[in-house]
Structure 1
Amino acid sequence: MPALDDKNAVAFEFARICSLASVKIMEIYETDFETRGKDDRSPVTDADELAEAIILAELETAFPGTPVLAEESFAAGFRPKTDGAFILVDPVDGTKEFINKNGEFTVNIALVENRAPTAGCVYAPARERIFMGGTQAWAGPLKAGESVSRDALDAITTRPRPEGGMTAVMSRSHADEKTMSFAEAQGVTEKVSAGSSLKFCLVAEGSADVYPRFGPTKEWDTGAGHAVLNAAGGCVLTPEGTPFLYAKEDTEYLNGAFVAWGKTG
């Protein structure tokens, strides 16, 4: 049972839980599963709900009493306290990617303290790749259900901003004109599309330099990727350059625009 102040241990515990929950996710992924609509008309599958149940049970054992803000339980009306430390969960981020079976969906768990993510894990089970970060960041191969070993992972870090122009990673489903205009204004010379929170991870591992997002997201969509990027030496800011904050109870945890940066120098 890791203490919340040991950020790397927390990240590895999140990774263990992501791997465990992904066994059920991949079982469903490999079938002709049904898709339903939630009240906000966003899609949901059995994978979202069954994986979240596994994750919530494991988190209560590992971090008893720590409030958990999770996408599906929030949709069902559960409102935990988020005025102190809390955990964010998105059991299947990129449900459209899951439905389209392109492999670009992720399992996200993050610890938020003082309105900022301090540890997190992003796992892409269909891609068999995991990312995690606390005070340091790692990535490596992992099959669903496997144990997470630090020896099998590589340390990752953001790259220096290239002189020849930056690479921007953008949403496969939600790139809009505002996002494209921002990228052009920043001197972006290459654009890469990716689904789910993998966009944060591409910046964190030095495959891209910036991820601008002007369309709507929720905190559980961004917390884990934000934590990994922070640990890899990057940051997430508003377009105006101010800190990108969490625990936005007044907006029902709806995020505004943000820009995820690699090294800024």
Structure 2
Amino acid sequence: MGTDDLMIDTSSGALPGPAATITGDALARIAHEAGALIMPYFIQGCDVVEKKDNSPVTEADHKAEALILEQLAAIAPGLPVLAEEEVAAGRIPDLGNVYACVDPLDGTREFINQRKDFTVNIGIVADKKPVAGVIYAPARNALYVAHPEAAPWMAEMAPDADWAIPDQRKPLQTRKASEKLVAIASRSHRTAETNAFLDEHDVAEIISAGSSLKFCLVAEGKADLYPRMGRTMEWDTSAGQAIVEAAGGRVTLEDGTTPLHYQKAERDYDNPHFIVYG
């Protein structure tokens, strides 16, 4: 049976197809290792290069991505990976129906400017839907995990600590919106369309945050809305969407009903505008 013929079923707690050997703890360990690799570059600084799309990239991006790809290949041989820097180099595998999305250093501008809102993102996509994900913010000691084997959780995990499966896990649960809505907006990529959306809704408070931590704040129940009216790629959002949806939220297009889906080769794997709801 080819991966295109798989019937996606995660009711057993396992991921489908070539991702079946990946556990939530394994995803967490890989993200933690990548975060530990990144932190010395954050502390000491590193050279920055501009890519063809005018976005910045550093040695930390490349080193972390290489580590993640090696670790994923070790625990899930045959799993295709859509990885940011590999795509930038023109290397896109045949993804099939189940694949991983990797952003080794989401929030590179935050990283370069010595701000702590950068993350390691690893998502698993099956049948065009994120079904598992991990986001690790090493400068904030914050680890977020969603996997069908268990309820979504977060834990405190320092990047310089030896890896151990966290035993102090806080469940993630989106909150019920009140009359005083709290929204999150991008610190580095705020657009006029985003401002217009916020103006049209009765938002009492706006939180600025960088990288995929915006998804995490919604999943934690610290905010109600995250509108993103700007360009993002599948590797930017798959882990965050998996975490938010596992915590009870939704990620939709601007119509508020159509789910954000994946495997968009016809768009070069970029996303349309979307809204994250708690």
Shift of 1:55: 0.3
Aligned length: 260
Residue aligning to 1:10: 23
Shift of 1:148: 4.6
Shift of 1:227: 0.7
Shift of 1:168: 0.4
Residue aligning to 1:147: 163
Query: Is the 2:45–2:112 contact (alpha carbons within 8 Å) kept by the matching residues of 1?
Result: no
Query: Is the 1:87–1:111 contact (alpha carbons within 8 Å) kept by the matching residues of 2?
Result: yes
Match of 1:29 among 25, 39, 42: 42
Q: Write out the 4+ residue segments of structure 1 that deviate beyond 4 Å after TM superposition.
A: 5-9
Deviations 1:113-138 (A, max 9, x none): 01010000000001111111123211
Distance 1:231 1:148 in 2: 23
Aligned-residue identity in percent: 43
Match of 1:87 among 74, 95, 100: 100
Distance 1:8 1:207 in 2: 33
User: Aligned AA for 2:42?
Assistant: Y
Match of 2:174 among 143, 146, 158: 158
Match of 1:124 among 119, 125, 137: 137
Distance 1:250 1:79 in 2: 13
Shift of 1:150: 4.2
Deviations 1:168-194 (A, max 9, x none): 001001112211221232321110000
Query: Is the 1:8–1:119 contact (alpha carbons within 8 Å) kept by the matching residues of 2?
Result: no
Q: Where do 1:48-127 residues align within 5 Å? A: 48-127=61-140
Task: Point out where structure 1 has 5 or more consecutive residues left out of the alignment.
Answer: none
Distance 1:65 1:8 in 2: 11
Query: Is the 1:12–1:148 contact (alpha carbons within 8 Å) kept by the matching residues of 2?
Result: no
User: Aligned AA for 1:235?
Assistant: R
Distance 1:152 1:184 in 2: 39
User: Aligned AA for 1:43?
Assistant: P
**Given the superposition, is the C-alpha separation of residues 230 and 7 from structure 1 closer, same or farther in structure 2, using an over 3 Å criterion?**
farther
Distance 1:132 1:8 in 2: 16
TM-score (ref. length: structure 1): 0.94
User: Aligned AA for 1:186?
Assistant: H
TM-score (ref. length: structure 2): 0.89
Q: CA RMSD in A?
A: 1.7
1:243 aligned onto 2:254: no
1:255 aligned onto 2:271: yes
Distance 1:54 1:194 in 2: 27
